[in-house]
Structure 1
Amino acid sequence: MLDPRDADALPGEADPALRDEIAHATARALVDRARTTEDPAVVERLIHLVENEGLDTVAGLWADAAPVSLPGALWRLYVLREWVRRDLPTVMLRYRLGVEAAPVQEAVAGVPSPPEPGDLRILADAVLSGVFTGDLAVALERAGAFCRILSTGAAFDADSREVADPTGATRMTRGASSLLRTAEELERAGDLWRTGSLE
């Protein structure tokens, strides 16, 4: 990872091409390091990267990366895990609303039925662990399925609030659309990883 002193020495806004290069280099280094180590503490530190380094630090590295890229996929996975960690009641509600309409996605996501709150935390950690120690394509597919379920649940939640809170319902509908787009991006990244073409 770029040393903070080196980052501070960069004049003004970094060149977009340099930022992209740094995003790809750091993402590849993290994944490669985790996949070649036999130390489970390394993987554990990577799973908890946001808690240790802060979401802003991770965002500074990867948030601007192309969605269907290794750094873009990692950014989305960390944001998804952080959402589960910070707002479990909302995620749980959306999951429960969405899972009845998306039973196939539930099987892909790998959450027990009926889910308990702890199951969603376990899924978020397992997906990141899978990125670093398992089949990365499967981890991305599981995250994509999870996002599809949450998207469906958000849409149902928006419908139920349409009369009482039209502004909130519109915001939730946009959120559902964003989650669906994220699911598609993660799934596409998984497809590219399988063919060895995920940059």
Structure 2
Amino acid sequence: MSIDSSYSGSVRSSSNSFSTARLGSNRPARPAQLDQAVADHLAGGLDPQQISELSHSSAASLLDRVHHTQDPQIVKRVLSLIDHEGIDLVAELWSKSEADSLPGILWRLYTLRTWMHRNRESISLLWRSGEPFGTAASAIVGIDQTPSASDIAKTADSILSGAFTGDFAVALERACVFCEVIATGLSAEAERRGRESIGQEALGAESGDPRVTSLLRTSRKLAGTANDFKHGASLWRRGKLE
């Protein structure tokens, strides 16, 4: 199987996050985990300040609830919040939040998981390109040096569930390193394709191949998302991620 560059457009340029959850699906149902009053207010329209306040309070409440529960069903429902209950309300609440905020970071974690699930086969190949030799990255992320598509999906679940049930900063660091490796893999794939398209040893700045341009753009955005996760972990440890 070759790496398909079509997934490269799934990174949101506006927030260095991901948007594959919006593609190819019917209009989703409203998430049951979010308070009905919040949904009613949003449906009726709120000003940006009110939405910002709701985004912060809902993110903190969701994280706190799971951290203090022993019910595996609650953990499972929160983990699959976007998969089974829709993204519209979650996006309206969290997608415009700054990267250095709790709702902004949770939004990136959720959409990273969705992106990983939907592109698991391509991402498994990109990991091998970005991490050709075993390094600390594999240990930090908790993934084999040559992961299968199934391993990618399991890692996606593990990172998000770890954010809710374990050390939040550690989960963000795992997400950071994962994004860094895949960004490196995308750059390596872009270089390979660039060489093929222009027939020279090194990737030229003006190859003219739109696939190369798309891969490099996605690599840069993913590297930016990695920085968001790294900064978020630092803020969390200092008690400043709100």
Q: So what's the TM-score if we normalise by structure 1?
A: 0.92
- Find 1:105's aligned residue among 112, 118, 137: 137
1:36-75 matches, cutoff 5 A: 36-75=68-107
Instruction: Indicate conservation of the 8 Å contact 1:152/1:176, yes or no.
Output: yes
Are 1:177 and 2:209 matched, yes or no? no
- Deviation readout 1:11-41 (Å, 9 max, x if unpaired): xxx3222221111111101100001111011
Question: For the structure 1 residues 99 and 56, does the alpha-carbon distance in structure 2 shift closer, same or farther, using more than 3 Å as the test?
Answer: farther
Instruction: Indicate conservation of the 8 Å contact 1:101/1:152, yes or no.
Output: no
- Deviation readout 1:41-97 (Å, 9 max, x if unpaired): 111111101112223332222110001211111111111110111121221121111
Instruction: Indicate conservation of the 8 Å contact 1:105/1:148, yes or no.
Output: no
Match of 2:40 in 1: 5
Percent identity for Structure 1 against Structure 2: 38
Q: CA RMSD in A?
A: 1.6
Gaps of 5+ in 1: none
Alpha-carbon distance in structure 2 between the residues aligned to 1:55 and 1:161: 35
Gaps of 5+ in 2: 1-33, 198-207
Alpha-carbon distance in structure 2 between the residues aligned to 1:26 and 1:139: 20
Alpha-carbon distance in structure 2 between the residues aligned to 1:56 and 1:65: 15
Alpha-carbon distance in structure 2 between the residues aligned to 1:73 and 1:197: 13
Instruction: Indicate conservation of the 8 Å contact 2:179/2:226, yes or no.
Output: yes
Deviates more, 1:66-75 or 1:49-58: 49-58
Runs of 4+ aligned structure 1 residues displaced above 4 Å come to none
Match of 2:233 in 1: 190
Alpha-carbon distance in structure 1 between the residues aligned to 2:163 and 2:70: 15
1:33-182 matches, cutoff 5 A: 33-100=65-132, 103-162=135-194, 163-164=196-197, 166-182=209-225
Aligned length: 196
Alpha-carbon distance in structure 1 between the residues aligned to 2:241 and 2:51: 18
More helix by share: 1
